[in-house]
Chains A and B, each alone.
Chain A
Amino acid sequence: MRNFKRPVAIVASASFETPSEPSRNEVELLLPVIHDALGQVGLTQQDIGFTVSGSSDYLQGFPFAFVGALDAVGAWPPIRESHLEMDGAFALAEAVAVLQHGHVDTALVYAFARPSRGDLDRTLSIQLDPYSVAPLWPDARGLAGLQAQAMRDSGRFDSVPEVPPTHVADGCTAVVLAVGDRARELTKTPVWITGIDHRIEAPALGVRDLATSVSTRLAAESAGATDVDAAYLHVLYPHQELLLRDALGLNGQPVHSSAGPMMVGGLERIAAAAKAVAAGDARRAVAHATSGPCLQQNLVAVLDATAVLEGAAA
Chain B
Amino acid sequence: MSADVVDEAVPPVTVIECPTRLDFSYTPGVAQSRFLRALERGEITGQRCPKCKKVYVPPRGACSMCGVATEEELVLSGKGTITTFCTTQIPSPGLVPPYVTAWIRLDGSDITSMFLIQECDPAEVRLGMRVEAVWVEEADRKADLGNISYFRPIDEPDAEYETYKDYV
Contact = CB atoms under 8 A, between A and B. Distances in A.
A72 B67 contact: yes
Interface residues of A, number: 34
B55 interface: no
Interface in B114-138: none
Interface in A39-65: 45, 58, 60-62
A70 interface: yes
B97 to A, nearest CB: 29
Contacts of A61: 22, 24, 26
Contacts of A119: 22-23
B28 to A, nearest CB: 6
A45 B67 contact: yes
B60 A68 contact: yes
Interface residues of B, number: 25
Interface string B17-59: 0101011111111111100000000000000000000000000
Contacts of A45: 67
Contacts of A58: 22
Contact of B27 (A22, A123, A130): A22
A23 B62 contact: no
A71 B56 CA distance: 12
B145 interface: no
Nearest to B52: A76
Contacts of B86: none
Interface string A60-83: 111000001011111110000000
Contacts of A68: 60
B74 to A, nearest CB: 19
A48 B130 CA distance: 42
A34 B67 contact: yes
Contacts, number: 84
Interface in A105-131: 117-119, 122-123, 126, 130-131
A150 interface: no
A25 interface: yes
A257 B78 CA distance: 54
A117 B28 contact: no
Given A25-B27, A117-B27, A134 B62 contact: no
A119 B33 CA distance: 23
B87 interface: no
Given A27-B61, A34-B67, A74-B66, A123 B22 contact: yes
Given A73-B67, A117-B27, A25 B18 contact: no
Given A72-B67, A73-B67, A28 B61 contact: yes
A71 B27 contact: no
Nearest to A76: B65
Contacts of B16: 131
Contact of A23 (B25, B26, B27): B27
Please indicate which of the listed interface residues B23, B28, B62, B64 has the most CB atoms of chain A within 10 Å of its own CB: B62
A135 interface: yes
A70 B64 contact: yes
A24 B61 CA distance: 9
Please indicate which of the listed interface residues A25, A28, A72, A130 has the most CB atoms of chain B within 10 Å of its own CB: A25
A68 to B, nearest CB: 7
Given A74-B68, A134-B18, 9 more contacts: A25-B32, A25-B61, A31-B67, A58-B22, A71-B63, A117-B24, A117-B25, A118-B24, A119-B22
18 contacts: A23-B27, A23-B29, A24-B61, A27-B62, A31-B61, A35-B68, A45-B67, A58-B22, A61-B24, A61-B26, A70-B64, A71-B64, A75-B65, A75-B67, A117-B27, A118-B25, A126-B20, A126-B22
Interface of B: 16, 18, 20, 22-33, 60-69
Please give me the 7 A-B residue pairs with the lowest Cβ-Cβ distance, nearest first: A74-B67, A25-B29, A61-B24, A76-B65, A71-B64, A118-B24, A71-B62
